[in-house]
Amino acid sequence: MKTLDYPLEMKDVEPEMAKKLMEYFTGEHTGFVRVGPKGYFLPHQFRQEAAKIYNMEIRPTDVFVCSYPRSGTTWTQELVWMVANDLDYATSDAVPLTNRYPFLEFSVYVHPVMKKRFQEENKNSAEKLQLLEWVSQPGTEQLAQMKERRFVKTHLPLSLLPPNLLQAKVVYVARDPRDVVVSFYHLNKSMRTQGYIGDFKTYWDFFRQDLHHWTPYFEHLKESWEMRHHPNMLFLFYEELSKDLPAAVRRVADFFGKQYSEEQISRLCDHLSIESFKTNKSVNYDVMKVIGIMVAETDGFIRRGKAGGWRDYFDEEMSSQAEQWIAHNLRDTDLRFPHF
């Protein structure tokens, strides 16, 4: 396969700003980059993986689940995998979601300083060291070794992924950014690869000012929204999964050319319920707790699964900021978030 030159410019985030951010995000030790004309914000290590990701082989049988983080990604991954694999509950229960879906760019978030720390903490367990090597291996390498149908998780926007991505099936899921930022705040506190130690209001400021991982948020969504009519793109909203999960299941089934009975759909919806998810070890990223990347005493990877929960966190000033920020960013698009 011909290797393409990486077409996007990468600029280091200004040293003073990077230093300030690393005081809050203690898992990063080198700095950050902005990528492409939209300035996507990523760890400095992305420089090493950018071209490999852009040039990775796309197989027509591949399935990508893409999203901005905390938009219902895990929920969508399990839904998509179950539908595409003929409701194979036995494999779903036996094989963790992390094994079924390599996380394409996760390795760029495991800084060498942190990896060394995790290796030291796990040095007395060969099994844990092996797990650590596996989760920190570049996703492109994991995927190249796979012979079976590949399911891929990524939080990268379309413009940072291979230009022929839509030769594969792509499911994109989006969520109200106010709920996203609340959920991502909790995850960033629990994941030592980010290690956020500030308060929520400061976190919100970083997020809306595009000084946070995978931002700018709205540009991320718009890239996929603009491709939503492509036959290999399915665009979902977290809110529609929350409001009418059976309808969302049918949309996914149609996308993959599958037909299921009402009884089968009902059972799958039970399997996908937040209550079931919270106790399902296969989808709870337990491997991250086992090797110490996720702080063990936190609530876990699956939280409340509540649409509109942001109201418990935003004060009047933040709510006003959010309304203006959302309106400003949606002014040139027909993208709108469903509300109850």
**What pLDDT, on the 0 to 100 scale, is given for residue 285?**
65
**What pLDDT, on the 0 to 100 scale, is given for residue 3?**
72
**What pLDDT, on the 0 to 100 scale, is given for residue 286?**
76
Identify the three-state secondary structure at position 174: strand
Q: Identify the sign of the CA torsion 53, 55, 61, 65.
A: positive
Give the burial string for 241-273 (b: 16+ CB within 10 Å, else e): bbeebeebbbbbbebeebebeeeebeebbebbe
Assess if CATH 3.40.50.2030 describes domain 56-330: no
Nearest CA among 148, 113, 63, 114 for reference residue 288: 114
Question: For the purposes of burial, counting CB atoms within 10 Å of the CB of 65, is it exposed (0-12), middle (13-18) or buried (19 or more)?
Answer: buried
pLDDT block averages, 10 residues each, the chain of length 340: 84 98 97 98 97 97 98 96 97 92 96 96 95 94 96 98 98 96 94 95 97 98 98 97 96 98 97 81 76 71 62 93 96 87
Q: Structure tokens of 312?
A: 């418990």
**What pLDDT, on the 0 to 100 scale, is given for residue 340?**
47
The Cα–Cα gap between 78 and 54 comes to: 25
**What pLDDT, on the 0 to 100 scale, is given for residue 256?**
98
Nearest CA among 307, 133, 156 for reference residue 219: 156
The Cα–Cα gap between 172 and 234 comes to: 6
Domain locations along the chain: 56-330
